[in-house]
Amino acid sequence: MSDRPLIEASGLTKWYGERNRVEVLRGLSLEVWAGEKIVIVGQSGVGKSTLLHVLGALDQPSEGRVMFDGTDLATLDDRRLAELRNREVGFVFQFHHLLPDFSALENTMMPALIRGIAWGEAAERARQVLDRVGLGHRLEHKPGELSGGEQQRVAVARAIVLSPRAVLADEPTGNLDPAMADGVHQLLVRLNAEQGITLVLVTHNDRLAELADRTLILRDGRLC
């Protein structure tokens, strides 16, 4: 086991605007260890999504720093940040953001193709991961031909197709009914247990929070 966190935020502050500054995060600190399942909860509008985006290098903090496996994200240029997002971190959002004209297989392949992996190998990786999430029989179906739960499972498959070290999920079941949501929850927990993927999840769902190793509350720009 590593002697340092996989993800570490220290003194993290994020504001928007200059003349009428709105602070969302205020000196926040967080350590996420490899293999953990962490759930972040809080009222709407407190900055949960902002925090997740900063942790995953989709956004930059106004002050403070984020370390990923000992590397300060602020020291990476745009190309290396893009590589980190592609190779090390998978993202799952409330809205699955699948490409409507592409099949489940093609959507899942996208991160591998972006990395430069050959089509045949990318397709094989995608087939394997779709089978792992229970969609091996739906490879050629487009998003409009899949249920909401199936679409979100494709989004999860896309997030893990390159075997990232961490998955950051922002309200991953917010648009699903309880039965579909529970299926996605169990899938995420199984991936954590079987593959050791670190999970950081933002959710309002009490059931998902119960499955976490730690549940943190974001309040007034800080975690407690």
Copy the structure tokens of residue 89. 């971190």
Separation CA 50–CA 223 (nearest Å): 13
Which whole number is the average pLDDT over 86-110? 92
183-217 pLDDT tens trace: 888 888 888 998 899 999 998 777 777 889 999 99
**In-domain check, residue 67:** no
**In-domain check, residue 69:** no
Beta-bridge mates of residue 166: 89, 198
Q: Check residue 53 and give its pLDDT.
A: 93
Which whole number is the average pLDDT over 107-136? 94
**In-domain check, residue 75:** no
The region, left, alpha or beta by phi > 0 then psi within -120 to 50, assigned to residue 64 is: left
Q: How many CB atoms lie within 10 A of CB 207?
A: 13
**In-domain check, residue 5:** no
pTM of the complete model: 0.90
Cβ–Cβ < 8 Å for 20, 32: no
**In-domain check, residue 107:** yes
What total of structural domains would you count in the chain? Answer: 1
Q: Is the dihedral of CA 102, 108, 112, 114 positive or negative?
A: positive
Least confident segment among 24-38, 68-82, 116-130, 180-194: 180-194
**In-domain check, residue 23:** no
Which whole number is the average pLDDT over 57-79? 94
8-26 pLDDT tens trace: 999 999 999 878 888 899 9
Q: How many CA atoms lie within 13 Å of 12's alpha carbon, on the beta-carbon side?
A: 33
**In-domain check, residue 116:** yes
- The bridge status of strand 71-72 relative to strand 37-41 is unpaired
Q: Check residue 211 and give its pLDDT.
A: 82
Q: Check residue 174 and give its pLDDT.
A: 76
Domain span including residue 124 = 36-58+83-223
User: Residue 208's domain is classified under what CATH number?
Assistant: 3.40.50.300
**How far is residue 48 from each of residues 27, 200, 222, measured CA to CA in Å?**
14, 11, 10
Copy the structure tokens of residue 217. 């509350």
